[in-house]
Structure 1
Amino acid sequence: MTEHVDVLIVGAGLSGIGAASHLKRDCPTKSFAILESRSAVGGTWDLFRYPGIRSDSDMYTLGYSFRPWTDAKAVADGDSIRDYITNTIADEGLEQQLRLNTRVISAAWSTETALWTVTAVRTGGGEYTAAPDARPAETVTFTCSFLSVCSGYYRYDEGFSPAIAGSESFEGEIVHPQHWPAELDYTDKRVVVVGSGATAVTLVPSMAKTAAHVTMLQRSPTYIAPVPSRDHIADRLRGKLPAQLAYDIVRVKNIGYSMFTYQLSRRRPETMKAILRKSAVAKLPAGFDVDTHLAPAYEPWDQRLCAIPNGDLYRAISAGNADIVTDRIERITPTGIELASGASLDADVIVTATGLNLLVTGGMTLSVDGTPVDVSQTLTYKGMMLAGVPNFSLTIGYTNASWTLKADLVARYVCRLLKYLDRHHYQYVTPQAPTSVSAGELVPLIDLQAGYILRDVGELPKQGERSPWRLHQNYVRDFRLLRAGSITDDVRFGRSGEHPLDLPGTAVITVDGIHLRYRSTGTGSPILMVHGIGQSLDDFTEQHDLLSTTHRVVSLDLPGFGYSTRLPGRATLARLASILPAFLDAVGIAEPVPVVGNSLGGAVAMTFAVAHPERVSALVLADSAGFGPEVTVVLRLLAVKPLARVLMRPNRANSARTVQALFYDKTLATDARIDHSFALSRRRSHAATMLDIAHDLGTIRGVRPEWRRSLLGALRRLEIPTLVVWGDHDHVLPFIHLAAAAEALPKAETHVFEKTGHMPQIERPEQFAALVDDFLARRVGASPAAASAVQQA
């Protein structure tokens, strides 16, 4: 049996529970479920149980924006954080949505259904393993409209433990912090903690309280910063202000402070080094070799700064219960560790605080319409989505601040996105990286020099050079981007059954910063085809099939129409035509080209020819705009903005009437064409461009005469070979315009298609193709532009 939900959240840790809470608050009508591979919630804060486990940042920023942290401890222990998460589940009413012991192993997206199919296995009490000899696990299936992965970026079942010579000879115990034995007793024992990161600096002072002695053995130093365990401003505000207000004030203050210290570290590293060194010297015993043990070769925040509450590590060292040794391990002996320097450390317990193993997306495999997704080769969009992967988010928190700050932004952005999809009648959104980004310099999503990152950096998705394809690691900038920034940049929206790239030869190309959907089929001399107002390149499907046997046929969605992105500012006839030279260059057409334009496309073709006569060898104008004032009443009404807003509201019945009006033969108004028209009407950029053009070219009285007279006069002087064709039952631009065209362009050839509407290229495809082929065979060679191009060559 398959369970369906609107949103499926993977992971019940701090991120997953936060995502579910925001979803329930911001999108109360959405159904959702939370899948957790383990038998308990809490993620990191339930998995790690080593002594002293605590946050390495303050809880006013690690906590949720909607749930005040009211404990007096600003830096909290693991139990308190786990309680905070479980209390959030109870208070937000999320128990019914939890599915514990359920690990996702694969997720497959189908554009046809606009759904993810997610396969998971029951894990029982332990971790799932895909080993060949593992017992088959029970499989469960979910479907969802949106998949939100909040499983972190490391393996839960296995920490990183380097192979160390002699470890098998050790007579004591070797443990890894990720799987701490509950029965481990280190009282009055000698402990060596191998490592220098956040886990090591937490373990040492905690174990030193009962161990005989604890040594932190590090291969190289780490920057360490003492921080207060309490927030005195929070203490003063507690009880004097409402809890949420007090929390918000301290949260903003701490965000600002963490950003300040990070920026100081990056811009003035020597200043930060001096501050950290001065603090260490003041808190450590006289004679402690600070420059050997606490002065890394890298700059502050190349790796995450390790925080020690109230300087507890330094206090343990000062009390003589702990020390730091900077050296390399030669081998482990039965009684301790032999060092590369020749010294040795006696040990009863060795703790390998040597880091994590990276695991993006929780180890699940992804596919889109049957094609596997290599996450390591994908680009991240706004640090949270993947290029080419629809309705998918990935929560990776900050490395230079509290994880939850970024997780909150991601969760709220997903809610914004879901509401946008509903408001505009879309079913999915897919980030699309421009060529300028995908072909530029790429860096890993997590840009830290920590060993556990560098070991598996090739497994991480990539970032581009600029926003929204580069993560800022700056909360204020990311807040503006994710909470207030555009939701339509570099993405494509759609509905089930819509396949804008399904037609053979269809692709997206970036031209002058505009993403243009285009189609190129066949070989031979090229022909460019340009569609009408409110239409798309799909209007030339039949001509691609017929003419590509002898020509290279190229069509495009004009900027703002179909699935091409919109030009900045207001769209006009001249601006639509202005994209064509660069587009032709981008698709490798440098020679003069015949241009076939239908309706508005005819006016675009003529405008292009007047502006760049050297690029146009011939014109074929099919039921073209520009030859008379008469036009269907709907297009006249679009020039009146209040009426236009009403008329442009997506409505399938209106789309059906629009498509039926295009054809004499009403059987051509198929469900597929109506669905396509309806899909385009739901695209905001498409509707906005249509309104711009209607206002640019016409009024309530009809097509403006000024631009028509100017354009036709300029075209007439060029003497470009021109064929004007018309359907005798055109209800959009009436048949009488053909006589006006013959008068305006006396050297043009004309042709009438009987019992044909506004689109003869669809309604009379074979006749249209034969007519075009014959015209080009006879006339292109006589084109002045073509002759000039031949002479220049």
Structure 2
Amino acid sequence: MHKHVDVLIVGAGLSGVGAAAHLKRDLPGKTFVVLESRPSIGGTWDLFRYPGVRSDSDMFTLGYSFRPWTDAKAVAPGASIRDYIQATIDDEQLGEHIRLQHRVISASWSSESALWTVIAARTGSDEFRPGQPFNEQMVFTSSFLFVCSGYYRYDEGFTPVFPGAESFSGELVHPQHWPADLHYAGKRVVVVGSGATAVTLVPSMATEAAHVTMLQRSPTYIAPIPSGDRKADTLRKYLPAQLAYSLTRAKNIGYSIFTYRLSRRHPERMKAILRDAAIRMLPEGFDVDTHLSPRYNPWDERLCMTPDADLYKAIRRGTADNVTDRIDRITPTGIELASGRTLDADIIVSATGLNVLAIGGMALTVDGAPITLADTLTYKGMMLDGVPNFAMTIGYTNASWTLKADLVARYIGRTLKYMDRHHLDTVTPRAAESVKAGNLVSLIDLQSGYVLRSAGDLPRQGASTPWRLHQNYLRDFRLLRLGRVTNDVRFGRRGADAAAAGIPLDLPGSGVIDIDGARVRYRVTGQGSPILLLHGIGQSLEDWNEQHDRLSDAHTVYSVDLPGFAYSDRLPGTASLAGLASILPAFLDRFGLIQPVPVIGNSLGGAVAMTFAVAHPERVSSLVLVDSAGFGKEVTIALRLLAIRPVGIVLLRPSRKSSTRTVDGIFYDKKHVTADRVDHKLALTNRSAHRSTLLDLAQELGTFRGIRMPWRTRLLAEVASLRIPVLIMWGDHDHVLPFMHLDAATRALPHAQTHTFHNAGHMPQIEHADEFADVLRGFIANSRQEWLHV
């Protein structure tokens, strides 16, 4: 399957759905698709199903700027957030754009075509693990790639090595993959960890468990907050929903900025506030200084929230407690601590953090060069130095994630509008050498364990704007919503290098890729099962335009200028049949086509298709040979004369007369001998590489007497031994390779199917385009079934 869109969004969580909604609102004419690796939307809020899972920010700022949060609770349970995301999808009519169970494996940028080629794998119902094998792949091309996949691995959380864990007779679970059938009522539970997940789990489980202990190696800062917002409730009574929401959002943004600044500028004051609150709410004698006084300052790590002080209430009731110690080993019945104390447990919950996975683990390449994230600089916290038409969403770590996600999505919309107004195709951040040589820090400026463990895998930040991410909404609002989109970026136009080299890319889906140092022009259209089309000697991928038009409704149609012909570079050395076929495996690999595909070749393209099938039978599901070379010695006099190199050089001198004669010899119905086709033929013969390649092939495959026998005999014998369905098609008035070759073909390949086009010349795919497409569709459908049962 192949699909082209203007913008490809990766991830259907809070960020990805928001990005899609903003894109549709800001640029309604843009096409887009959202790829989500999981079988359901929601991202984090669908993955995490542990008891009490909830937002760690108020929903007036975690929600979208355009969609009011109307639930009573400002700190919302995970199920409510999932419902909010789904309601956004429904109301914004985004469902038709979302593709579930599509994991992006790689994305390759071509400057020539100004396109990303994105390879996605179909995933199952389980979490996809990086490096996991997969069977089915899809290809997407997009003008802009927008990654909204977060920054941690969904398939596994971080669990330290606990000595003796294998001996534990109870259940050891990680919150990231909470068992749906886990029963903890009346049981003793130890939650290992002190972060937001642990602070959420302990009071929630304490309502049913016999007792819950939060075991922490070191304490974290915890702030009691109300679960509702009374001011919001009041505003909603008297004001329209959107206005009330916007005012509450502004209020909460201001409060979060104030508390963060207070924490950074006056950490001792914030410590005292948090300590005093804990003392008021915890039972008398609770050792606050041991269990709730970290060694770091507030907001060096994210501040944990306990809505309505539920953690403190559970400790006050005696259904939960807090232990600060280190694990020595896990025993069959619980945990032995470094202090010598023992904690009995029926269930141990390892709430020990995340594993970072930037941009979903996909492999990025730009013009064939791999991008190592750790070696890149982030531009405005969302784009990468030297990577065109790419953005990623990394939300705030000191405030609601979505505040930053909204800003990023709107900024991308502004940038795309600017490019459309100025007829630009590419935008690439470019850092000055002084920025690269300056003080560089990690993209995520936190001291949390999961960040420190993965700092070497994340992009870097520079010392100042726009190469430094601010943890300040007001500054970022000025920068991203009001600031210029032209600072420190380079804009360009599609195919600038190709245009300079005289390579036309005006056909929809056309582009240029690099294969082993050679530029190869290609065209891709449609969606569905893939097929590969190969042109003949001295021709180009334009020979398949009519079939691109007709087959793209059910197939992803690939055509290519074979090396040296038309607008593809020559390979080193003398051009040969084997050389032309040799680039096809790499070509298919670049588009993620690992399954066998039907290969259709016209004239010389038929011989190339057979050569490819013999060398790589595992890559070819069927062969369609259209007026193909290889079945007889007879060939038009023009090609026989080309085998005499001095004569061929003279004959190939570019002229409109010779170009007209060549086009005229191809068709039975002369209405196809158009000025456009003659102009195109003349343009090709004006290319010296094209002429040289044509002469090389004419001399390798033939002589003045006709096409050589040895290579034909050998190749046909090898093709006959393959278990590949073959269809041979011929025009009954072919003056290049005569119709009598069809009889020779049936003798050489007795199991092949045949079809004759009446009143057709050398290119029935053009003269009888509808009939050709119908026959081809039927053959491919039947041969696919044959291949599947082999």
What range is the shorter-chain TM-score in? 0.5 to 0.7
What's the secondary structure of 2:340's corresponding residue?
A: coil
Partner of 2:320: 322
What's the secondary structure of 1:6's corresponding residue?
A: strand
Partner of 2:330: 332
- Report the alpha carbon displacement of residue 129 of structure 1 after superposing the two structures with TM: 3.6
- Report the alpha carbon displacement of residue 179 of structure 1 after superposing the two structures with TM: 0.2
Counterpart code for 1:408: D
Partner of 1:41: 41
Give the one of 383, 386, 409 matched to 2:384.
386
What's the secondary structure of 1:67's corresponding residue?
A: coil
Aligned 8 A contact 2:123 2:134 in 1: no
- Report the alpha carbon displacement of residue 432 of structure 1 after superposing the two structures with TM: 0.2
How many residues are paired up? 504
Per-residue deviation, residues 727-782 of structure 1 (Å, max 9, x unmatched)? xxxxxxxxxxxxxxxxxxxxxxxxxxxxxxxxxxxxxxxxxxxxxxxxxxxxxxxx
Per-residue deviation, residues 535-588 of structure 1 (Å, max 9, x unmatched)? xxxxxxxxxxxxxxxxxxxxxxxxxxxxxxxxxxxxxxxxxxxxxxxxxxxxxx
Aligned 8 A contact 2:8 2:144 in 1: yes
Partner of 1:260: 258
What's the secondary structure of 2:183's corresponding residue?
A: coil
Partner of 2:549: none
- Separation in structure 1 between the aligned mates of residue 248 and residue 176 of structure 2, nearest angstrom: 32
- Report the alpha carbon displacement of residue 37 of structure 1 after superposing the two structures with TM: 0.1
Per-residue deviation, residues 362-383 of structure 1 (Å, max 9, x unmatched)? 0000000000000111000000
Partner of 1:615: none
Aligned 8 A contact 1:304 1:400 in 2: yes
Partner of 1:716: none
- Report the alpha carbon displacement of residue 154 of structure 1 after superposing the two structures with TM: 0.2
Aligned 8 A contact 1:123 1:137 in 2: no
Partner of 1:93: 93
- Report the alpha carbon displacement of residue 501 of structure 1 after superposing the two structures with TM: 14
- Report the alpha carbon displacement of residue 105 of structure 1 after superposing the two structures with TM: 0.4
1:632-711 mapped onto 2 (5 Å cutoff): none
Partner of 1:644: none
Counterpart code for 1:468: P
Counterpart code for 1:311: A
Partner of 2:369: 371
- Pair 1:28-2:45 in alignment: no
Partner of 1:457: 455
Per-residue deviation, residues 362-406 of structure 1 (Å, max 9, x unmatched)? 000000000000011100000000000000001000000000000
1:115-134 mapped onto 2 (5 Å cutoff): 115-131=115-131
Name stretches of at least 5 consecutive residues in structure 1 with no aligned partner. 504-669, 672-793
- Separation in structure 2 between the aligned mates of residue 421 and residue 261 of structure 1, nearest angstrom: 39
Aligned 8 A contact 2:130 2:361 in 1: no
Partner of 1:276: 274
Counterpart code for 1:60: F
Partner of 1:84: 84
What's the secondary structure of 1:107's corresponding residue?
A: strand
- Separation in structure 1 between the aligned mates of residue 212 and residue 455 of structure 2, nearest angstrom: 32
- Separation in structure 2 between the aligned mates of residue 477 and residue 46 of structure 1, nearest angstrom: 32
Aligned 8 A contact 1:110 1:369 in 2: yes
Aligned 8 A contact 1:22 1:411 in 2: yes
What's the secondary structure of 2:234's corresponding residue?
A: helix
Partner of 2:173: 175
- Separation in structure 1 between the aligned mates of residue 436 and residue 86 of structure 2, nearest angstrom: 41
- Separation in structure 1 between the aligned mates of residue 64 and residue 421 of structure 2, nearest angstrom: 27
Aligned 8 A contact 1:221 1:293 in 2: yes
- Separation in structure 1 between the aligned mates of residue 412 and residue 374 of structure 2, nearest angstrom: 22
Counterpart code for 2:69: W
Give the one of 433, 436, 451 matched to 1:435.
433
Per-residue deviation, residues 417-451 of structure 1 (Å, max 9, x unmatched)? 10000011100100000111110010000010001
- Separation in structure 2 between the aligned mates of residue 493 and residue 439 of structure 1, nearest angstrom: 24
- Report the alpha carbon displacement of residue 109 of structure 1 after superposing the two structures with TM: 0.3
TM superposition outliers: structure 1 runs of 4+ over 4 Å:
499-503
- Separation in structure 2 between the aligned mates of residue 462 and residue 199 of structure 1, nearest angstrom: 27
RMSD: 1.7
Counterpart code for 1:433: A
Give the one of 408, 411, 416 matched to 1:410.
408
Give the one of 150, 153, 157 matched to 1:152.
150
Q: TM-score by structure 1 length?
A: 0.63
Counterpart code for 1:56: D
Partner of 1:295: 293
Partner of 1:53: 53
Partner of 2:212: 214
Partner of 2:229: 231
Aligned 8 A contact 2:9 2:34 in 1: yes
What's the secondary structure of 2:105's corresponding residue?
A: strand
Aligned 8 A contact 1:102 1:120 in 2: yes
Aligned 8 A contact 1:104 1:364 in 2: yes
Partner of 2:601: none
What's the secondary structure of 2:246's corresponding residue?
A: helix
Per-residue deviation, residues 217-249 of structure 1 (Å, max 9, x unmatched)? 000000000000010100111131000000000
Counterpart code for 2:426: Y
- Separation in structure 1 between the aligned mates of residue 190 and residue 359 of structure 2, nearest angstrom: 34
Give the one of 160, 172, 180 matched to 1:162.
160
Name stretches of at least 5 consecutive residues in structure 2 with no aligned partner. 502-685, 688-790
- Report the alpha carbon displacement of residue 130 of structure 1 after superposing the two structures with TM: 5.0
Aligned 8 A contact 1:16 1:34 in 2: yes
- Report the alpha carbon displacement of residue 128 of structure 1 after superposing the two structures with TM: 2.8
Q: 1:441 to 1:500 in 2, by over 3 A?
A: farther
- Pair 1:194-2:192 in alignment: yes
Partner of 2:69: 69
What's the secondary structure of 2:162's corresponding residue?
A: coil
Q: 1:78 to 1:130 in 2, by over 3 A?
A: closer
- Separation in structure 1 between the aligned mates of residue 257 and residue 434 of structure 2, nearest angstrom: 30
- Separation in structure 1 between the aligned mates of residue 367 and residue 321 of structure 2, nearest angstrom: 57
Per-residue deviation, residues 78-135 of structure 1 (Å, max 9, x unmatched)? 000000000000000001001000000000000000000000100021233454xx55
What's the secondary structure of 1:33's corresponding residue?
A: strand
Aligned 8 A contact 1:114 1:496 in 2: yes
Partner of 1:649: none
- Separation in structure 1 between the aligned mates of residue 133 and residue 266 of structure 2, nearest angstrom: 56
Counterpart code for 2:483: G
Counterpart code for 1:58: D
- Separation in structure 2 between the aligned mates of residue 35 and residue 285 of structure 1, nearest angstrom: 50
Partner of 1:361: 359
Partner of 2:651: none
Q: 1:23 to 1:449 in 2, by over 3 A?
A: same
- Report the alpha carbon displacement of residue 502 of structure 1 after superposing the two structures with TM: 10
Q: 1:302 to 1:73 in 2, by over 3 A?
A: same
- Separation in structure 2 between the aligned mates of residue 273 and residue 500 of structure 1, nearest angstrom: 61
Aligned 8 A contact 1:109 1:369 in 2: yes
- Separation in structure 1 between the aligned mates of residue 248 and residue 122 of structure 2, nearest angstrom: 42
1:701-780 mapped onto 2 (5 Å cutoff): none
- Report the alpha carbon displacement of residue 498 of structure 1 after superposing the two structures with TM: 2.2
Aligned 8 A contact 1:106 1:364 in 2: yes
Aligned 8 A contact 2:121 2:134 in 1: no
- Separation in structure 2 between the aligned mates of residue 239 and residue 163 of structure 1, nearest angstrom: 53
